[in-house]
């Protein structure tokens, strides 16, 4: 009787170990996949990304919410955003007409900076960001916020629906009209 209990106990332990081993294998597999995807160089906010010293700077233009606003993220080499606390910077925007405007980057949220565009035409901008006593810089070009990118399509019944290309309303299926 006692022998049987011990035997059952060993069997149970074996089953547990087997289960644990399977779990560990799955976990390792999962973390391996995750590691693989973080190696990719996709901009985390869907913007343009440039190397700046040991950092990356990402420029994001949110044409629908804030048409004339540029957002910038300072990213570590693993593409994690760095807190904007204590970090300062300037932006020099050179428009296609030759005019150049230099502004201070404004900290926004806790991990990015914003700058305002004054014109809708194509531009090149140079960022200089001071981080840990060093200045890192990057240059971006953009086709501007005018003409084609400024188009907004909306539903005559649902004005909250807005997109940048023709299509149908996801709420009622009507053809979207250009605003």
Contacting positions for Zn ion (CB under 5 A): 155, 157-158, 169, 171-172, 174
CB of 80 to Zn ion, least distance (A): 39
Alpha-carbon distances of 133 from 82, 103, 130, 137, rounded to whole Å: 15, 20, 6, 13
CB neighbours of residue 139 within 10 Å: 13
Sequence-distant (6+) residues with CB within 8 A of 97 are: 119, 121
Nearest-approach distance from CB 36 to Zn ion, in angstroms: 41
CA distance 121 to 140: 14
Alpha helices by DSSP H, listed for 69-169, are none
Closest to Zn ion by CB, 134 vs 171, is 171
Cβ 66 to Zn ion shortest distance, Å: 24
Give the nearer residue to Zn ion in terms of CB position, either 3 or 165. 165
Question: Considering beta carbons, is residue 76 or 175 the nearer one to Zn ion?
Answer: 175
Smaller CB separation from Zn ion, 23 or 172: 172
Question: Is 49 or 176 the residue whose CB approaches Zn ion more closely?
Answer: 176
Exposed, middle or buried: residue 175 (CB in 10 Å: 0-12, 13-18, 19+)? exposed
- Cβ contact 129:136 at 8 Å: yes
- The least CB distance from residue 179 to Zn ion, in Å, is 14
CB of 171 to Zn ion, least distance (A): 4
**CA–CA distance, 113 with 43 (Å, rounded to integer):** 16
Tell me the residue number closest to Zn ion, measured at CB. 169
């Amino acid at each position: 009787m006692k022998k049987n209990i011990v035997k059952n106990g060993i069997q149970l332990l074996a089953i547990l170990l087997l289960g644990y081993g399977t779990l560990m294998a799955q976990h390792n597999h999962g973390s391996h996949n995750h590691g693989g995807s973080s190696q990719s160089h996709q901009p985390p906010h869907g913007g343009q990304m440039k190397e700046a010293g040991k950092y990356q700077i990402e420029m994001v233009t949110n044409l629908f919410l804030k048409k004339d606003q540029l957002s910038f993220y300072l990213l570590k080499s693993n593409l994690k955003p760095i807190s904007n606390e204590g970090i300062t910077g300037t932006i020099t925007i050179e428009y296609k007409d030759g005019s150049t405007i230099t502004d201070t980057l404004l900290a926004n949220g806790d991990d990015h900076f914003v700058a305002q565009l004054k014109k809708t035409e194509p531009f090149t901008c140079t960022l200089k960001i001071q981080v840990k006593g060093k200045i890192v810089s990057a240059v971006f070009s953009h086709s501007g916020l005018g003409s084609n990118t400024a188009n907004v399509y909306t539903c005559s019944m649902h004005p909250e629906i807005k997109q940048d290309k023709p299509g149908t309303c996801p709420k009622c299926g009507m053809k979207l009209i250009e605003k």
